[in-house]
Structure formats: structure tokens, C-alpha cells
């Protein structure tokens, strides 16, 4: 059977690749911020609806979240797709920094590719199931706001992943990989300080500066860094600091991320950060309000699925670069300093990373690596991975050494390099989903690996039951 659906997958995606590329580029041009991806989510949902999927929009309290379902019974295999952009990363598809619209959002993490590769896989899996009478259910999860508000966390909390047997996702990257690394737990919190306004020259003694509180908190947290575990990360911005210098600010606000490898470690660090905030409140005579934005778990890796993804990557084969793609890659590579590329490759901990030093684009497919390690970032895929065996693999859409959230990644995510990566990823994902549906032994090994890594631990959302997605965040 696999030989039959393999041929179908490859032929079907090739025959529709122009449409998939068009969808990806359209979402790239929309470049909508998290929880505002109205056009992007509608485009993906309508495509699924037109192809026979049952689509439920606005799930988990998010207007741009949806679940599309086709099939019946077990196994239930999920596919995830993201489509949110990042603020301030507008960029033309050119190998130099030039925004389409200065200050506007841009797809600096390639989520236009992410959502479309998942869509292409879901449509192709459905076609194969129909053609070859394969039982089971395929679900496409349209997951908004990964960059800012962790949309998947709300979907997991509301039970939308409870019925799935396994979940597959794809993220563009500068490498081809199915990593076994975990990620950092993160807690995202705003600190609001309320003071008393007064004339800063005539009557400063009557004022209570909310900005002083923000600044004192930042100073305290920066001193705190010496006294937290080495793997912890604390970063912040000042969102609001007053109106003009001659008015004592009566309101100021900062936004913090607190990260560490495990939940209990984050909670310990966060408690210290919170105490610093309370100290700033006392020192300045202001009032403190703490607002939880979101929080998410670490990723639980899965070796059997990772090995199957790598097998399928090698079976499909890395597509060769066209002359046009190669020329664009070479020009982008000139904008990435050699020391930056060397450092990123080294930090990847990929075995044999030295072989990539003289290459522009990754043309290798390594074995899964990094078991027991973790990346110094966070993703809401973590919460999903606590509910079911899950894997988010990568294909090379960017030149080696490209940083996430950069003008280079935005430019490449709308380029032929992205199109090449998208079609490759869609084929690999569709094959892997069908393998999980038809190979009971593979699915059971994935579940057993999942149980072993959980070690009896159970998932408890880090956001309270009554905490709603911040759909009005960008207006605040």
C-alpha cells in the first residue's frame, strides 16, 4: 500500500504546487499579526472547506483559530499550521534590507510557509485516504499567534487535541532536520505601574512616577541575573513610559518573558522577578498590576516519528537548487557575517556541522540529534506535545546562518527558496501522516516513547481556566 500512496503523494503535490505556492505568497503579503490573521486563516480554511473538510472557525476563543476535519474513526492524526507575522519586519523579496512598508509586519519566521505546507499535506492525505480506502481521521489545526500569544495553548486547554493519536508540524529553517531537542518553558507577563501625575519641575514632590517603578524593576531584575540558573533567560521591553518630560508619568508598563528548561524552574525565577516588581512598587509609592499574557511548556520530543520523518526526507530527496535560487542564496549569504554563520552552526549541536561551513543552503539530511538537549527558545508546540506524540520538523527555506526574525528570513520566506522548501516539506509531511495511519507498529512505538518521556507526569495548563486569549492586545 505504501508504494501506492507514495506515488500519489508525490504526483498530487507536484500537480498542485503552483496553487500551494500562490497561497503561501498570498499569506506572506498579508503579513497579519497574531490574533489578527483574519485573511490568512480564512484563505486556509476556505481551501479546506472547498476540498470537503468540515471546518469549525473561531475555536478556543480566538476568531482566527480553526479545526478542519476529514474522515472517521481512529487513528486521528493532526497536522498543525501557523500563519502569523511579526511586527516591524516588513521586507521586499530582495537580498538587501528594504521594507515593503516601513514599520509594518513581515513573515520573519516563515509562517506563511508553515500554514501552507500543513494545508498541502492535509489535502493530499485526504486524497490518498479516499483513493486507497485508508481508515482514520485527519485534522488540520489552524493555530494563530504562535509568535506572541501561544494560540495552541488555548486550543490544548480547551480540549481540541484530546482525541489525537499523533501530531505533525513543519517549520521553515536554515537546515533540514527532525530534531530531538526540547525547548524552554516560558511565562509572558506585563507589569503595569500606576502613579500620580504632577508637574515635574514645579511640584515633583507631589508626583509618584510609574516610570521610576519600571526602571527600578528593570535594574533589580538585571542584578537578579547573577542569582538564577545558567539556563534561565529573562528579557523585557518598556511598552509605555510617559507622555513628555515635564509630566511625572502616572502610568508605565513593561513586558517580560521568563524562560527556563522546566516548569518548576520558571516558576522559581518568576517568583523572584515578581518580588523585584513588588519592591519597585514599594520604593516608588505606586500601585502594581500584574497581567499574565501567556505561558507554555517545553517540547516532549519523539524519536520514532523523527526517524520516520528523516526516512521520508531521504526517500523524497532534497530538491536541487535552480540557477535562480542559487543566485539569490549567494546574494543573501553575503549579508550574513561569517562569524555569525559559524556561531549558529556550532550552537545547533548538529553532528558534522562543519560540513556546512562552505555551503549556502543545506543539502544534507542528518539523523535525528539532540536528545536531552534543548533550544534556547520556546514554542506552543510544547503544550501539544504533552498531550500526544508530536514532532515539528524543519526544511531549509533560508540560507545557512540566517537568523529567525530578521529581514533576511522575511525576504527568503517569500522567495523561490521558500517555494522549494514548502513543496519538499509538504511531501514529507503527507507521507509521514499516512505512515502513522497505516503502520500500527509505528504509531504504538511513538506512543510508547511519549509515555516514557512523560514519566507519569500529567499536563496542567499554565494559564488559568478563565484566562482568555488577548484578542484586543494590539489595541491596548
What digits encode the pLDDT tens for the residues 141-165?
999 999 989 999 999 999 999 999 9
Question: At 94, phi and psi to the nearest 5?
Answer: -140, 155
Q: How far is CA 125 from CA 112, 150, 163, 362, 376, in A?
A: 20, 27, 18, 27, 33
Average pLDDT, the chain: 96
Contact 472, 168 (CB under 8 A): no
Of 33, 68, 77, the C-alpha closest to 49 is 68
Banded model confidence at residue 1, pLDDT cuts 50, 70, 90 = low
Residues with Cβ within 8 Å of 167's Cβ and at least 6 positions away in sequence, in order, are: 77, 78, 79, 80, 141, 161, 384, 385, 388, 389, 390, 391
Q: Cell numbers of 311, please?
A: 526516512
Helical pair 2-15 and 416-438, crossing angle rounded to 10 deg: 150
β-bridge mates for residue 186, sequence order: 259, 296
Task: Calculate the alpha carbon distances from 417 to 81, 237, 324, 359, 426 in Å.
Answer: 19, 33, 9, 15, 14
C-alpha cell at 7: 506515488
The CATH 3.40.630.10 portion of the chain extends over: 2-182+298-454
Dihedral sign for Cα 87, 93, 97, 101, please. negative
Q: Are 316 and 424 in contact (CB under 8 A)?
A: yes
**DSSP-assigned letters across all residues of 128-189:** HHHHHT--EEEEEEE---TTTT-HHHHHHHTTTTTT-SEEEEEEEESS-B----B--EEEEE
Cell of 107: 513573515
Kindly tell me if the per-residue pLDDT of 7 is higher than 70.
yes
Q: For the segment 172-196, what is each residue's pLDDT rounded down to a tens digit?
A: 999 999 999 999 999 999 999 999 9
**What are the start and end residues of each CATH 3.30.70.360 domain in the chain?**
185-296
Q: 248-271 pLDDT, tens per residue?
A: 999 999 999 999 999 999 999 999
Average pLDDT in the 302-316 region? 98
How many angstroms separate the CA atoms of 131 and 124, rounded? 11
Place of cell 506552543: 380
pLDDT digits (tens, 9 = 90+) for 104-142: 999 999 999 999 999 999 999 999 999 999 999 999 999
Predicted confidence at residue 475, as pLDDT, reads 77
- The answer on pLDDT for 35 being more than 70 is yes
Q: Check: CB of residue 200 under 8 Å from CB of residue 475.
A: no
Query: Quick one: cell of 269?
Result: 525565577
Classify 71 as helix, strand or coil.
strand
Query: What's the CATH fold of domain 185-296?
Result: Alpha-Beta Plaits (3.30.70)
CB of 284 closer than 8 Å to CB of 214: no
pLDDT confidence band for 476 (50 / 70 / 90): low
Say how far residue 340 (Cα) sits from the centre of its chain: 22
Q: What is the rounded average pLDDT of the residues 90-96?
A: 98
Beta carbons within 8 Å of 315's beta carbon, 6+ residues apart: 6, 431
**Cβ distance 78 to 167 under 8 Å?**
yes
User: Can you identify the CATH homologous superfamily of domain 2-182+298-454?
Assistant: Zn peptidases (3.40.630.10)
**475 phi and psi, to 5 degrees?**
-90, -10
Grid-cell match 484586543, residue found: 472
> What percentage of residues in the chain have a pLDDT greater than 90?
97
The kind and range of the H/E element at 67 are: strand 66-72
> What does the pLDDT read at residue 224?
97
C-alpha cell at 402: 540566517
Please tell me the predicted confidence (pLDDT) of residue 473: 85
For 350, residues 6+ apart whose C-beta sits below 8 A from its C-beta are 175, 177, 356, 366, 369, 370
Amino acid at each position: 500500500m505504501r508504494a501506492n500512496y507514495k506515488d500519489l503523494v508525490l504526483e498530487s503535490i507536484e500537480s498542485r504546487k503552483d496553487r500551494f505556492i500562490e497561497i503561501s505568497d498570498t499569506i506572506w503579503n498579508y503579513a497579519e499579526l497574531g490574533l489578527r490573521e483574519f485573511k490568512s486563516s480564512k484563505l486556509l480554511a476556505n481551501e479546506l472547506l472547498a476540498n470537503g473538510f468540515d471546518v469549525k472557525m473561531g475555536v478556543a476563543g480566538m476568531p482566527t483559530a480553526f479545526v478542519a476535519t476529514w474522515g472517521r474513526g481512529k487513528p486521528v492524526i493532526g497536522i498543525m499550521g501557523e500563519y502569523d507575522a511579526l511586527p516591524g519586519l516588513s521586507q521586499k523579496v530582495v537580498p538587501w534590507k528594504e521594507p515593503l512598508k516601513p514599520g509594518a509586519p513581515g513573515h520573519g519566521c516563515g509562517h506563511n510557509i508553515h500554514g501552507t505546507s500543513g494545508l498541502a499535506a492535509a489535502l493530499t492525505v485526504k486524497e490518498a485516504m479516499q483513493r486507497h480506502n485508508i481508515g482514520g481521521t485527519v485534522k488540520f489545526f489552524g493555530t494563530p499567534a504562535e509568535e506572541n500569544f501561544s494560540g495552541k495553548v488555548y486550543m490544548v486547554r480547551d480540549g481540541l487535541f484530546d482525541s489525537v493519536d499523533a501530531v505533525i508540524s513543519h517549520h521553515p529553517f536554515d537546515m533540514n532536520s527532525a530534531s530531538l531537542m526540547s525547548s524552554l518553558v516560558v511565562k509572558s507577563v506585563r507589569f503595569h505601574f500606576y502613579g500620580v501625575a504632577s508637574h515635574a519641575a514645579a511640584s515633583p514632590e507631589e508626583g509618584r512616577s510609574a516610570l521610576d517603578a519600571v526602571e527600578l524593576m528593570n535594574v533589580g531584575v538585571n542584578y537578579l541575573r547573577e542569582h538564577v540558573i545558567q539556563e534561565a533567560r529573562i528579557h523585557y521591553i518598556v511598552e509605555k513610559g510617559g507622555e513628555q518630560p515635564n509630566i511625572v508619568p502616572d502610568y508605565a508598563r513593561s513586558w517580560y518573558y521568563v524562560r527556563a528548561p522546566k516548569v518548576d524552574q520558571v516558576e522559581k525565577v518568576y517568583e523572584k522577578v515578581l518580588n523585584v516588581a513588588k519592591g519597585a512598587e514599594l520604593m516608588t509609592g505606586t500601585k502594581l498590576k500584574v497581567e499574565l499574557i501567556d505561558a507554555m511548556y517545553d517540547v516532549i520530543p519523539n524519536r520514532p516519528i523523527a526517524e520516520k520523518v528523516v526516512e521520508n526526507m531521504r526517500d523524497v530527496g532534497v530538491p536541487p537548487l535552480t540557477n535562480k535560487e542559487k543566485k539569490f542564496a549567494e546574494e543573501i549569504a553575503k549579508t550574513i557575517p561569517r562569524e555569525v554563520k559559524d556561531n549558529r552552526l556550532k550552537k545547533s549541536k548538529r553532528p558534522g556541522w562543519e560540513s556546512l561551513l562552505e555551503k549556502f543552503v543545506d543539502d544534507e539530511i542528518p539523523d535525528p540529534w539532540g536528545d536531552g538537549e534543548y533550544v534556547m527558545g520556546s514554542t506552543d508546540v510544547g503544550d501539544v506535545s504533552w498531550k500526544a506524540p508530536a514532532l515539528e520538523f524543519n526544511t531549509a527555506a533560508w540560507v545557512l546562518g540566517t537568523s529567525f526574525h530578521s529581514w533576511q528570513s522575511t525576504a527568503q520566506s517569500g522567495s523561490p527558496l521558500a517555494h522549494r522548501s514548502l513543496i519538499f516539506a509538504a511531501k514529507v509531511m503527507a507521507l509521514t501522516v499516512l505512515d502513522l495511519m497505516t503502520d500500527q507498529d509505528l504509531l504504538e512505538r511513538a506512543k510508547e516513547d511519549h509515555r516514557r518521556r512523560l514519566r507519569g507526569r500529567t499536563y496542567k495548563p499554565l494559564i488559568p481556566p478563565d484566562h482568555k486569549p488577548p484578542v484586543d492586545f494590539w489595541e491596548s
